[in-house]
Structure 1
């Protein structure tokens, strides 16, 4: 009997263990090259329990032994894995084999100058030429996209009323913003990837490439597939525009329309080169001719519909006259990703778009986690200035306490989404939808989401919905379409109203605004928006502001909204950036651990003759604001770091940056000798997220010059590059090569690759 009881006990224990959830971790990669796949959806089959991979393709999910995990990603085959006794499940997904197999003929480009020997696999595909020629014959009698529709498996075609301008998708709708195939007609890549102007009666042959056969020839441009069309006697008439060079900057073809924004009064000189002259002078890139334009100010603004707040660069301050430097922290990072977009697009950079503090704070640094009662730790460092050996560089760093997602309080989130006509392009609303899905996949059952949209008017498209019902939230996002004017003020009022009605005490109450900032109905000026947000922040609802798109991007408006709304501002240009904001930095983006954080540094006049704060021009405070608890300042999120740089001129050093000041008649400054070994004292004041009274911290830095850490070298490289972009008088004639060299020295471990990306970015800028 005892033996039977023991067996029953063991069996029951095993059943209970099997029924318990446990943590499963793993990595999802592309089977072709083992590269990590961010944003892959992992669901426990038959449930709504799910998660998504982060930027590195990593995930974690709770599941039972009997569960089956379903891995799905747009453009890839879905894969199922039984949990069993495994604790680590790594998965390699294969690109979907559907779409276009029967019409892929060859994987080669069009060339008249070199012979070509097809591979065995390409010869096999050439056997399908009979079918392909039949298809081409039908195309001669039917509009191109109508012929492709229904004849080729997996092809999606929209807007067929204007069939030659219809949108053709070869691999379905991916999470990335650009899904259209590359279109090549008679060996020439078509601008805007369209089929307009192609006469179906003149088509001789069509070739469709995908996957490796496309990317091996056309590189990343062919990642969505390639449609190659050859016509009889190369008869397609394709308008090829000349190369434009404005103020020494070559303009990409897709940006040629922006040249039209230049008025005759802006142009100082315009020179036309015909095809032969242009090719001799500028090479193959100018084979269709060239127009060289110089403007009066020599600083052509490529996206002149974009707006940025004017920045007056900080100058050196004499310590004897003004020993205090006071400013609000800034955790915004929009400037860096915006500048990255401009450089990657070959565009000129507006100096006012360069906010050095936002470039610096885009990156993580090796600051210690806080261990005491305060929610952040303080780190300071002093070294020789890389661009001026006569001065010192000072780095001040804050590290916010990091909380795991499961430790965060329940969230009451209101998505406020701009669906006006200006959001129609792929890098706006479509990218926005995909970005928000990354956030939705991380929500818990206790979290709630509402969605408010605005165009000509504002409306609620999703009432508060639990994070348990992810499919419902994602469906509401998928149904959004762009059109109409932009009533941003109405949208903000409605979103805050909804957030207040569902307010979670001791929870995370936040409106997340996603827009290009192009408000044009109702309250729309910077002053109007500032007044509106200052009133709304009294509700205790925080604000995150996400900028999308370019051409009419209103950075100045979005910065004001974030600053005055107790929130943060990010610019999302790619799905990788969305993964960084909503995946890697999820807690910091959504959860505030300290608000109204202010910094005040008192420099010792015995040691410091003058100082200059690098960046933070839009965050400066009056000295008396530091102890004024009614004065608004910046917020710090979970895991966020904040870094500030000063350049200081030591006592006794002559500098061209300092001008003589007349002697004072009534005031004779007296310098205390009691703290002769101290360089400066830094004070921090902050409030708890639900508090009204500030808490103060103090940190003293001795006059101790050290070899720079890797972090300081990298930060200095960013500051140097930023000053070069701003055409600052303070970078002391440094070169791009100096910034590259310094960044390489400070690259360090760089486990996420962001520092390496920065080095590639400034190297690209050097070659523009």
Structure 2
């Protein structure tokens, strides 16, 4: 009885504590120009909860109902601390620019030391600087078209394939999530994203679907399930999940990291270099004594601003990061060469050797062709020095180039649009971001023609492989980090259901299905090949999917979440295969989910769908 009373008391106290918190919204602006300040950090005292402003300088955070304080910081501005009482309702912070002399950055090359100054002309930023000179006129309207120099690789939706003609579907794994952040950033600015910025597989893979960890000693596990397709009720939807083993941080191998930071003039914006500095500060806090970090920068020239330094000398590393300033042209090729040379000089045998590039992708001096950069990066990855890429900013963003570099460098690619995304990348998912547990991960799905007439892989358009590539260990494919997962959705057309997207006439000389295949009940077989990080020969695991499709309402919550995200992506892309999908149907499917959402990613997704609905409504009314 005493235990029951104690438990009730604890629950009551927790309920009272939750009830004492309220969510407030506010804005952070430049005190002189009145421009919004993106990426400013807000800390609630004494609760110690934190958040960051979006591109419009707006933030939302939980605060106590009674007295509390908020501390607001932004690079290049004086810190503001303000006390609040329960009666206050206005949360507007006007930060004053810091009035300090520009500092010199010491840059050392391979041998003699020399000094190169990277300076910015101002510590305040206008909307033109933030969004780029050609995209400064940003109006919050549903049909606004932003004239920018952003570049995205074209994406053409996968078509349906007849099983009797093409029984195998083969593609590379993809743990990148940059597209989700790109979509979020565009919606936060009150506009729809570029169609080619919407890569549906990256939207889907932004979420953790709670797949079971590998239990047989392998670094990855395969999962598959089947449900009714929500946007085409006569069709079915297959979810295939590949879960990577999560390794405790203390058991991860030592890291030899090189931060390669773009400090050219194009990075002179509050959501570029200052946000880069915030992101790398988060990473530095995760370092262990056995880890090492060097910092290479590039603008008109490239140089080493910090030689390889042990992870327990955090103050030294942070000081080097804080002193960086932007200015000059972009010697991206020279920077990558120097970063790889630095990584080689400090190579950690049996460790994690990685260059982490932070840039807006605007390479305009030195090696500028994608082909030359790819050759360099491919050569280095063969020696187990990998490349991860972090993209920042908009207005002159080269998504196509950055995605390609990360793919060729056996690393992941992320777009950092705010402080929270930086925190997820370098704090919440530290191991997955930096430590590879399996490389050259390929998937091949074989469909049973007795159960499947046709299929369509949703997304992964730029990850498709030839069927013979699956068994070719020389063929490069994607990597998976500690705890990472990969999710793929297939839309299936059962036998007897009319397929309106027919591309070729029916074949007349093919053999009918065997009785054994029909009676087996197998829908498909998933095969996965992977290599250990230091290995050259792949290993094979497989999983057979049997059974019948359950109604989408009866499918697992995580399945419905993936289906909702797929609908959202197809509607944003205006895909011809979207069927009955709409923002409303995606919202309805996701709105009833009650699963764990500790980091708030599901809530954020629902907000994004609502933003898109509002923009679409405004466009219809104009």
Number of the residue aligned with 1:750:
597
- Provide, for residues 679-727 of structure 1, a one-character-per-residue CA deviation record: whole Å limited to 9, x for no partner: 0011000000000000000111113223311011010000001000000
* TM value normalised by structure 2: 0.79
CA distance in 2 between counterparts of 1:256 and 1:507 reads 40
Number of the residue aligned with 1:413:
257
| Cα drift, residue 732 of structure 1 | 1.0
CA distance in 1 between counterparts of 2:76 and 2:236 reads 46
- Check whether the contact 2:131–2:393 (CA below 8 A) recurs between aligned residues: no
Aligned pairs for 1:214-363 within 5 A: 216=88, 218-219=90-91, 222-224=92-94, 258=134, 301-302=145-146, 304-363=148-207
Number of the residue aligned with 1:766:
613
After superposition, the Cα gap between the structure-2 partners of 1:179 and 1:313, relative to the gap in structure 1 and judged at 3 Å, is farther
CA distance in 2 between counterparts of 1:215 and 1:404 reads 45
| Cα drift, residue 492 of structure 1 | 0.8
Structure 2 residue 550 is matched with structure 1 residue 728: no
- Check whether the contact 2:71–2:81 (CA below 8 A) recurs between aligned residues: no
CA distance in 2 between counterparts of 1:458 and 1:256 reads 24
What is the alpha-carbon root mean square deviation over aligned residues? 3.2
Number of the residue aligned with 2:230:
386
Structure 2 residue 530 is matched with structure 1 residue 683: no
- Check whether the contact 2:245–2:482 (CA below 8 A) recurs between aligned residues: yes
Number of the residue aligned with 1:524:
368
CA distance in 1 between counterparts of 2:463 and 2:49 reads 49
Please point out which of 609, 612, 617 is paired with 2:461: 617
Please point out which of 196, 210, 213 is paired with 1:366: 210
What is the count of residue pairs matched by the alignment?
530
Number of the residue aligned with 1:674:
516
- Check whether the contact 1:608–1:648 (CA below 8 A) recurs between aligned residues: yes
Aligned pairs for 1:314-713 within 5 A: 314-661=158-505, 663=507, 668-676=510-518, 677-706=521-550, 707-713=554-560
Instruction: Return 5+ residue gaps in structure 1 as ranges.
Output: 1-28, 37-72, 78-90, 96-120, 122-170, 182-207, 228-250, 263-284, 287-291, 293-297
CA distance in 1 between counterparts of 2:416 and 2:304 reads 24
- Provide, for residues 714-768 of structure 1, a one-character-per-residue CA deviation record: whole Å limited to 9, x for no partner: 1000000100000001111422110000111235222221101100111011112
* TM value normalised by structure 1: 0.65
Instruction: Return 5+ residue gaps in structure 2 as ranges.
Output: 1-16, 25-40, 51-66, 98-126, 616-622
| Cα drift, residue 399 of structure 1 | 1.0
After superposition, the Cα gap between the structure-2 partners of 1:260 and 1:558, relative to the gap in structure 1 and judged at 3 Å, is closer
Number of the residue aligned with 2:53:
none
- Provide, for residues 338-389 of structure 1, a one-character-per-residue CA deviation record: whole Å limited to 9, x for no partner: 1101001112311100000100111101100111121111111100000010
After superposition, the Cα gap between the structure-2 partners of 1:525 and 1:663, relative to the gap in structure 1 and judged at 3 Å, is same
After superposition, the Cα gap between the structure-2 partners of 1:631 and 1:683, relative to the gap in structure 1 and judged at 3 Å, is same
CA distance in 1 between counterparts of 2:460 and 2:182 reads 17
- Provide, for residues 269-296 of structure 1, a one-character-per-residue CA deviation record: whole Å limited to 9, x for no partner: xxxxxxxxxxxxxxxx99xxxxx9xxxx
Larger Rg: 1
CA distance in 2 between counterparts of 1:749 and 1:460 reads 44
- Check whether the contact 1:214–1:226 (CA below 8 A) recurs between aligned residues: no
Aligned pairs for 1:58-207 within 5 A: 92=47, 174=73, 176=74
| Cα drift, residue 568 of structure 1 | 0.1
After superposition, the Cα gap between the structure-2 partners of 1:411 and 1:260, relative to the gap in structure 1 and judged at 3 Å, is closer
| Cα drift, residue 178 of structure 1 | 8.9
- Provide, for residues 89-112 of structure 1, a one-character-per-residue CA deviation record: whole Å limited to 9, x for no partner: xx64599xxxxxxxxxxxxxxxxx
Q: Equivalent residue of 1:331, what SS?
A: coil
CA distance in 2 between counterparts of 1:256 and 1:592 reads 35
- Check whether the contact 2:135–2:147 (CA below 8 A) recurs between aligned residues: no
CA distance in 1 between counterparts of 2:174 and 2:571 reads 21
Number of the residue aligned with 2:106:
none
Q: Equivalent residue of 1:365, what SS?
A: coil
* Larger relative contact order (CA 8 Å, sep ≥ 6): 2
CA distance in 2 between counterparts of 1:412 and 1:523 reads 25
After superposition, the Cα gap between the structure-2 partners of 1:763 and 1:226, relative to the gap in structure 1 and judged at 3 Å, is farther
CA distance in 1 between counterparts of 2:589 and 2:385 reads 42
After superposition, the Cα gap between the structure-2 partners of 1:490 and 1:225, relative to the gap in structure 1 and judged at 3 Å, is closer
